[in-house]
């Protein structure tokens, strides 16, 4: 079976990928494999990390396998985590199909591409954020086998200014830093279609680099989907979805005893084509979050899937790096920070 995905290289945003407000709205699909989420993360000025999401999944018309909820975490500089993770009945989910305006219980996210406000709470903790966009985002998608099975990756905020607070009963953590926000939805069983993928965002003072290296299962011949985007302070200056134009390699790998996943201490990102060259060496500073994607399954389904099919996990990394970028005839030395993750669907 084929993956339908346009492989091109651009120096300015193509019209087909220009983002609209409706791209960041709710896409209520009638499919048992439907999953949709609105994600955010940010690096605080003190080295702490904040991330979270609003999500809905399953056939909402039947409800038997449907879920909705919110998640937010404050990861302290020492990697300890304060977590909000709350699930709700589907009746608690309300959203617009025209703009980003999502409410789950008392938690919400809303905005208009230039600015977003979000609030997430549980019984004794809360997160409030204001996210002000620094550049225009984009929309992209891939189809699997036919145009009826697809995955969308929409990024309203490749880079934003973030300000707010994470509160517990005993502490208030003030937040002011640089953030990222995206929105995703799909309507296929990811464990059957996607073997694993790396995703990340990399920031220095001048440039923003976003990448994803998605590898499909044998059902789709291990095909790769590999978008790489580079922004300067104001706009996108390079975009390639061609698999041969860049690569991500890993080194100094050790086995995590908890997840049995290999943890690389080094990620090397290289691109060299079309008058551009990029070389980045990312050095792991911390593994700040591990998520078992079967945690919400009933025990029998969890056992059967993990034993015979897959053991899906998300492992999140914070890295610092250095390298160089040559673009538009100019050389730039890069010293950067990166928030990135590895999602593994294989046993």
Whether residue 63 is predicted with pLDDT greater than 70 in this model: the reply is: no
* CATH for 189-347, options being 3.30.720.210, 2.40.370.10, 3.60.20.10, 3.40.50.980: 2.40.370.10
Residue appearing with tokens 């940010």: 42
Mean pLDDT of 258-271: 90
Q: Confirm if 179 and 34 have CB atoms less than 8 A apart.
A: no
Contacts of 221 (CB under 8 A, 6+ apart): 1
The pLDDT value recorded for residue 271 is: 95
Residue appearing with tokens 């809360």: 126
Domain coordinates in residue numbering, the chain: 16-188, 189-347
The pLDDT value recorded for residue 288 is: 86
Mean pLDDT of 131-141: 97
Residue 172 sits at φ, ψ, to 5 deg, of: -125, 125
Whether residue 266 is predicted with pLDDT greater than 70 in this model: the reply is: yes
CA–CA gap between residue 201 and residue 158 (Å, rounded)? 8
> Across the chain, what does the average pLDDT equal?
90
Whether residue 259 is predicted with pLDDT greater than 80 in this model: the reply is: no
CATH topology identical between 16-188 and 189-347:
yes
Instruction: Tell me, yes or no, if the pTM score tops 0.75.
Output: yes
Report the candidate in 287, 336, 257, 264 with the shortest Cα–Cα distance to residue 75: 287
- Helical (H) or strand (E) element with 192: helix 190-193
Whether residue 303 is predicted with pLDDT greater than 70 in this model: the reply is: no
* CATH for 16-188, options being 3.40.190.10, 3.40.50.10470, 1.10.8.640, 2.40.370.10: 2.40.370.10
DSSP 18: B
Whether residue 296 is predicted with pLDDT greater than 70 in this model: the reply is: no
The pLDDT value recorded for residue 61 is: 66
């Amino acid at each position: 079976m084929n993956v339908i995905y346009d492989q091109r290289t651009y120096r300015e945003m193509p019209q087909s990928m220009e983002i609209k407000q409706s791209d960041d709205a709710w896409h209520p699909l009638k499919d048992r494999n439907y999953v949709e989420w609105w994600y955010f993360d940010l690096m605080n000025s003190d080295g702490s990390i904040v991330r979270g999401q609003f999500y809905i999944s399953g056939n909402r018309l039947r409800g038997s396998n449907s879920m909705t909820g919110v998640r937010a975490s404050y990861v302290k500089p020492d990697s300890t985590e304060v977590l909000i993770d709350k699930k709700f009945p589907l009746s608690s989910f309300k959203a617009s199909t025209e703009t980003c305006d999502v409410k789950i219980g008392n938690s919400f996210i809303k905005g208009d591409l230039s600015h977003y406000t979000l609030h997430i709470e549980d019984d004794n903790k809360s997160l409030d954020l204001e996210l002000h966009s620094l550049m225009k985002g984009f929309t992209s998608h891939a189809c699997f086998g036919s145009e009826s099975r697809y995955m969308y990756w929409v990024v309203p905020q490749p880079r934003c200014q973030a300000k707010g607070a994470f509160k517990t009963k005993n502490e208030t953590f003030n937040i002011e830093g640089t953030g990222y926000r995206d929105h995703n939805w799909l309507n296929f069983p990811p464990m059957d279609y996607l073997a694993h993928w790396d995703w990340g965002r990399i920031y220095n003072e001048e440039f923003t680099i976003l990448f994803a290296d998605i590898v499909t299962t044998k059902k789709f011949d291990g095909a790769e989907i590999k978008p790489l985007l580079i922004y300067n302070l104001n706009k996108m200056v390079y975009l390639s979805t061609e698999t041969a134009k860049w690569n991500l390699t890993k080194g100094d790998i050790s086995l995590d005893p908890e997840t049995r996943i290999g943890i690389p201490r080094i990620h090397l990102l290289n691109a060299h084509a079309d008058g551009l060259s990029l070389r980045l060496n990312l050095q792991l500073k911390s593994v700040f979050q591990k998520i078992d994607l079967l945690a919400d399954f009933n025990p029998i389904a969890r056992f059967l899937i993990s034993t015979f099919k897959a053991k899906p996990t998300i492992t999140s990394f914070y890295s610092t790096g250095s390298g160089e970028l040559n673009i538009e005839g100019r050389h730039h030395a890069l010293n950067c920070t990166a928030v990135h993750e590895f999602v593994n669907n294989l046993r």
